[in-house]
Structure 1
């Protein structure tokens, strides 16, 4: 949220027509909703994920949709995909990292191998992508990076034993990327959604306050980019409460978790 008398942290994007956007994790959830919303706004959208059938279904017959299926946890495939797109489009205006894995689990239920897979998808794949997409943006002197983290990265809450720490790392990464890249004319967006109705959250067996649809999430993200925000968090009625919770002393925070969160 930006105070009205302060300048935006990023250059606002309000007209998507002709913009080339690459969405990683576009086969479902927020990534799929973003792809559809951007195609409706006449952007050229590259849809990437491993499930090519779903990507094709989302792209349909739209001439601005380009399907590029690959494994975002494989550096070689990242390099090949990036080279293919640069040859086809010359440059990418914005890369949106949406790929994620989530398994609700308490700390004593964590399997080390499964945790490594979650971290590889949620965190390592972003580093691998940055290695491929940042050099062309730096050479051109423009572009943008959007990283889908989560409010689960704000504080350590039960049931997010691996997912939460991986998203906390993405929050930290986004902050340092902004410090490094803003002066080089590259926008950086940190997206922290609350609960969104997706395949991931369908695994939860608890009430999810302020649950939103993927379409609502996509709209909030595009509004944040149009405002030039750095952090785009939503819905505010939920995320602002968590931000207040985040600054409480640990003694109070742990007491509230025991009282209202742990069951």
Structure 2
């Protein structure tokens, strides 16, 4: 298929912006969605033949559905959809804030649900397509000072695991991207040393490599992924003792 169409939601900065460039270089016709239209337009100027701006908000399900129809009408069938929009704010116990939980859940979790609702019907009707959900290694275990964020990412992993079997039976691939720490404006909010910190270029390269295998999960960097995977296997009592040491560090 010449110039297959990819829809990248959450493309205006960070991993999304770098991934847009990589997809365009690889020959994809990429529809870019984010709230900040001016950033999308600036990004499209680098490769106007391959990148197209379709501004939208993941908290608007009707708007996303309309965008999906418009993209397919103007560019063609969406073969790859990457649901990458997300928000992050660290929160310690003294700053416990219900509104922060609500905000992150609406963007990180329900934003993906809205994206799935927009893109799945056409893919299911065609019996093909690939959907990638950007979750996080932070969804493996509850990490100190990350309760609002980590809960959304754990929910995304569970969501993908729940939907994958039925979608696979219909020819649609649903997968998750689980990054570790990547240097972006969001992780710049952290005030601790982030282990195995990656650049957005390294993260985008890992995702591009992952597009060509059949694994359910694309996770990186491998050392941190291994570490978090081992923590996932620990008995709760042992893990929580380790977590208490993280708090006191």
Q: 1:78 aligns with which of 58, 64, 69?
A: 64
Give, in whole Å, the separation in 2 of the partners of 1:183 and 1:29. 33
Q: What are structure 1's unaligned runs of at least 5 residues?
A: 1-15
Q: 1:46 aligns with which of 28, 31, 34?
A: 31
The number of aligned residues is 248
TM-score, length-normalised on structure 2?
0.96
CA 1:32–1:17 in structure 2 vs 1: closer, same or farther (change >3 Å)? farther
1:62: how far off? Answer: 2.3
Give, in whole Å, the separation in 1 of the partners of 2:154 and 2:57. 23
Which residue does the alignment assign to 1:177? 163
- The answer to which structure, 1 or 2, has the higher relative contact order (CA under 8 A, 6+ apart) is 1
Which residue does the alignment assign to 2:109? 123
Give, in whole Å, the separation in 1 of the partners of 2:63 and 2:242. 45
Task: Render the CA deviation track for 1:23-80: whole Å, top value 9, x for unaligned.
Answer: 1000011111110111111110011001111111111142111100011110121121
Answer yes or no: is the 8 Å Cα contact 2:5–2:76 preserved in 1: no
1:26 pairs with 2:36: no
Which residue does the alignment assign to 1:87? 73
Question: Please, what is the CA RMSD of the aligned residues?
Answer: 1.3
Which residue does the alignment assign to 1:36? 21
Which residue does the alignment assign to 1:204? 190
1:261: how far off? Answer: 4.8
1:135: how far off? Answer: 0.6
Which residue does the alignment assign to 2:50? 64
Which residue does the alignment assign to 1:135? 121
Answer yes or no: is the 8 Å Cα contact 1:29–1:198 preserved in 2: yes
Answer yes or no: is the 8 Å Cα contact 1:110–1:161 preserved in 2: no
TM-score, length-normalised on structure 1?
0.91
Q: 1:192 aligns with which of 175, 178, 184?
A: 178
Answer yes or no: is the 8 Å Cα contact 1:150–1:192 preserved in 2: yes
Give, in whole Å, the separation in 1 of the partners of 2:130 and 2:36. 25
Runs of 4+ with deviation above 2 angstroms = 259-263
